[in-house]
């Protein structure tokens, strides 16, 4: 990412110039040393199962490579982002979304002089636990698993990398470094308070089984904020979601470019594009809007993070964890603007009648599969149907959940056709 010199800056929403002055000495372009508050791979807390260190790669580089070579990562190419696979080859899948998050996370990490490899690890792994059919699949799985502790895709991502990937001779999972697991499980913030009580969306219930189960093996400091690399990956996810769902929604014809004038943040960008390139063909116009949205959001995060870091002045990554708040995120103005973008996307994309019609069909697929496999778990293929005689209902439910959550959209449809005569026609 290339940042203009401070003297070249134009104010967009308030005084940006001061922010860039702050950044002048602090922003990284890849040549500077790692910041004192960044994760240092040479000081990693290690792996659950000790392994000899690589002579050619840092622990975080090894983690990145293990994630990319995992089967769960490959399956993301056939998992829904917003549009189910049959709807077109040019829409985002869970894999392309993940790659785009990774790019933004690395840009943020470089600018803030964090460990880029760790930020990339967290971006690449953050959606490994997603079910087929996107958030609709997750919602149905949570509903089905409600009697057995519920379902959460972040917790399932942890389960994937610590248990379900079975590739190595000496351990289950990928045996990732402590810092990678910590960032993966709590990149959105602390999961419990100092007394151990669940926070956020788990406040009135309990932490997901996968997190509770792993916490017995390794302490991931669930009561603290994660390091700055994880915070960068989390906000990169939001940026990628917003910009690329706008792109896909426009290209799918769910709304028109002119509809974006209802959102001040988007209206400003649209006016900028049309003013500079009057009469630009629609496909290029869309791309200009999307890329400028990403740029504004990324630059805002960097400016705000630099301000926060200068304010807190952390001398170690532990001081990042104990800061008591997120340090790498949007400014107050951009937070408000981004919420407006999300409201627009919910109204015009996620709740569009065409999208809802497909969501209703795929919800039935996931629900049917879970109900059938729970009642008849031996219908699952090997090795999923092995050793069932010693398992209770909750253990079987979790096994069924693992099996379905790992499916691609395509495979879920095929399994439904194998077991049912009324598989929905998705078009």
pLDDT digits (tens, 9 = 90+) for 173-187: 999 999 999 999 999
- Position 54 scores a pLDDT of 94
Over the stretch 123-171, which tens digit does the pLDDT of each residue have? 999 999 999 998 889 999 999 999 999 999 999 999 999 999 999 999 9
The answer to whether residue 156 sits within a structural domain is yes
Q: Give the tens place of pLDDT for each residue, 198-210.
A: 999 999 899 999 9
Helix (H) or strand (E) holding 366: helix 353-375
The verdict on residue 305 lying in a domain is yes
Query: Three-state SS for 242?
Result: helix
User: Sorting pLDDT into bands at 50, 70 and 90, what band is 281?
Assistant: very high
| Mean pLDDT calculated for residue range 297-303 | 97
Helix axes 94-111, 116-125, angle to 10 degrees: 160
Tell me whether the omega of the peptide bond preceding residue 397 falls within 30 degrees of 0, making it cis: no
CA distance 51 to 66: 14
Q: Which two tokens stand for residue 285?
A: 């116009």
Tell me how many helices (H) and strands (E) the chain has: 17, 0
Q: Give the per-residue pLDDT at 69.
A: 97
- The answer as to whether 385 is a domain residue is yes
- With respect to residue 3, please indicate whether it lies within any of the assigned structural domains: no
C-alpha span between 304 and 374 (Å, rounded): 48
pLDDT tops 70 at residue 7 = no
pLDDT at position 29: 76
DSSP-assigned letter for residue 345: H
pLDDT at residue 15 is higher than 60 = no
Kindly indicate the confidence band of residue 87, based on its pLDDT and cuts at 50, 70 and 90: low
Judge contact between 191 and 222, C-beta under 8 A.
yes
Helix axes 59-68, 116-125, angle to 10 degrees: 30
Give the residue-averaged pLDDT of 298-323: 97
Contacts of range 285-290, beta carbons closer than 8 Å, 24 or more positions apart = 285/257, 286/247, 286/250, 286/251, 286/257, 287/247, 289/246, 289/257, 289/260, 290/243, 290/244, 290/246, 290/247
Cα-Cα end-to-end distance for the chain: 40
Q: And the tokens for 71?
A: 């089967």
pLDDT for the residue numbered 358 = 86
| Cβ atoms of 296 and 273 closer than 8 Å | no
Question: Is the confidence at residue 10, as pLDDT, over 50?
Answer: no
Of 19-23, 52-56, 76-80, 362-366, the range with the lowest mean pLDDT is: 19-23
CATH of the domain at 221: 1.10.3210.10
Helix axes 178-186, 116-125, angle to 10 degrees: 50
Is residue 192 classed as helix, strand or coil in its secondary structure?
strand
Place of tokens 């040549």: 31
207 within a domain of the structure (yes/no): yes
pLDDT of residue 90: 62
pLDDT of residue 19: 46
Mean pLDDT across the chain: 90
pLDDT at 83: 55
- Whether the CB-CB separation of 140 and 367 falls below 8 Å is answered with yes
User: In this structure, which long-range contacts are made by residues 12-17, counting pairs with CB atoms below 8 Å and at least 24 apart in sequence?
Assistant: 12/268, 12/296, 13/333, 14/333, 16/303
What would the two tokens of residue 164 be? 């379900």
Section 296-311 average pLDDT: 97
Let me know if residue 298 belongs to a domain.
Answer: yes
**1, part of any domain:** no
Burial 136-161 (b: 16+ CB within 10 A, else e): bbbbbbbebbeebbbbbbbbbbbbbb
For residue 194, the enclosing domain spans 16-47+56-427
Banded model confidence at residue 51, pLDDT cuts 50, 70, 90: very high
pLDDT of the residue at 62: 97
Taking residues 76-89, what's their average pLDDT? Answer: 67
pTM for this model (two decimals):
0.90
In the structure, what pLDDT confidence band is assigned to residue 3 with cuts at 50, 70 and 90? very low
Q: What contacts 96, CB < 8 A, 6 or more positions away?
A: 77, 81
Residue 30 has pLDDT above 80, yes or no: no
Considering only residues 99 and 88, tell me which one the structure prediction assigns the higher pLDDT.
99
At residue 4 the predicted structure's pLDDT band, cuts being 50, 70 and 90, is: very low
Would you place residue 2 in the very low, low, confident or very high pLDDT band (cuts 50, 70, 90)? very low
Q: How much is the pLDDT for 79?
A: 87
- Cross-strand bridge partners of residue 247: none
Task: Report the domain count for the chain.
Answer: 1
Looking at residue 268, what is its pLDDT? 97
Q: Which two tokens stand for residue 426?
A: 């998705």
- Rounded to whole angstroms, the Cα distance separating 385 from 396 reads 10
Confidence (pLDDT) at 104? 97
Q: How many residues does the chain have?
A: 427
d(CA 173, CA 158): 9
> Is residue 195, in this structure, part of any structural domain at all?
yes
pLDDT tens per residue across span 387-401:
998 899 999 999 999
Q: What pLDDT, on the 0 to 100 scale, is given for residue 1?
A: 37
Within 8 A by CB and 6+ apart from 21, the residues are: 6
């Amino acid at each position: 990412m290339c940042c203009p010199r401070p003297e070249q800056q134009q104010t967009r929403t308030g005084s940006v110039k001061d922010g860039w002055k702050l950044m002048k000495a602090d922003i990284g372009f890849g040549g500077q040393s790692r910041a004192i508050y960044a994760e240092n791979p040479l000081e990693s807390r290690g792996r659950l199962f000790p392994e000899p260190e690589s002579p050619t790669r840092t622990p975080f580089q090894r983690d990145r490579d293990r994630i990319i070579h995992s089967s769960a990562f490959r399956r993301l190419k056939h998992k829904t982002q917003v549009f189910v696979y049959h709807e077109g080859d040019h829409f985002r899948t869970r894999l392309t979304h993940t790659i785009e998050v990774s790019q933004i996370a690395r840009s943020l990490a470089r600018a803030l002089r964090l460990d880029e490899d760790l930020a990339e690890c967290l971006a690449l792994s953050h959606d490994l636990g997603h079910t087929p059919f996107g958030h609709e699949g997750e919602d149905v799985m949570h509903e089905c698993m409600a009697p057995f502790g519920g379902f959460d895709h972040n917790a399932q991502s942890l389960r994937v990398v610590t248990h379900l990937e079975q590739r190595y001779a000496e351990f289950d999972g990928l045996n990732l470094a402590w810092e990678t697991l910590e960032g993966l499980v709590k990149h959105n913030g602390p999961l419990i308070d100092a007394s151990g009580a669940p926070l956020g969306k788990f406040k009135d219930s309990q932490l997901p089984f996968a997190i509770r189960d792993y916490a017995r093996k390794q302490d991931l400091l669930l009561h603290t904020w994660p390091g700055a690399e994880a915070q960068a990956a989390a906000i990169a996810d939001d940026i990628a979601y917003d910009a690329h769902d706008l792109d896909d929604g426009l290209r799918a014809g769910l709304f028109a470019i002119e509809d974006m004038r209802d959102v001040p943040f988007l209206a400003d960008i649209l006016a900028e594009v049309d003013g500079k390139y009057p009469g630009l063909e629609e496909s290029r116009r869309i791309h200009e809007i999307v890329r400028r949205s990403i740029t504004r959001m990324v630059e805002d995060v960097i400016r705000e993070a630099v301000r926060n870091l200068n304010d807190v002045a952390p001398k170690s990554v532990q001081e990042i964890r104990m800061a008591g708040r997120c340090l790498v995120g949007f400014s107050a103005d951009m937070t408000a603007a981004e919420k407006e973008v999300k409201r627009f996307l919910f109204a015009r994309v996620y709740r569009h009648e065409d999208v809802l019609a497909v969501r209703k069909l795929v919800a039935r697929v996931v629900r049917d599969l879970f109900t059938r496999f729970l009642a008849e778990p031996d219908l699952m293929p090997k090795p999923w149907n092995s050793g069932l005689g010693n398992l209770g209902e909750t253990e079987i439910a979790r096994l069924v959940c693992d099996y379905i959550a790992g499916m691609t959209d395509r495979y879920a449809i095929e399994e439904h056709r194998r077991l049912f005569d009324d598989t929905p026609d998705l078009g």
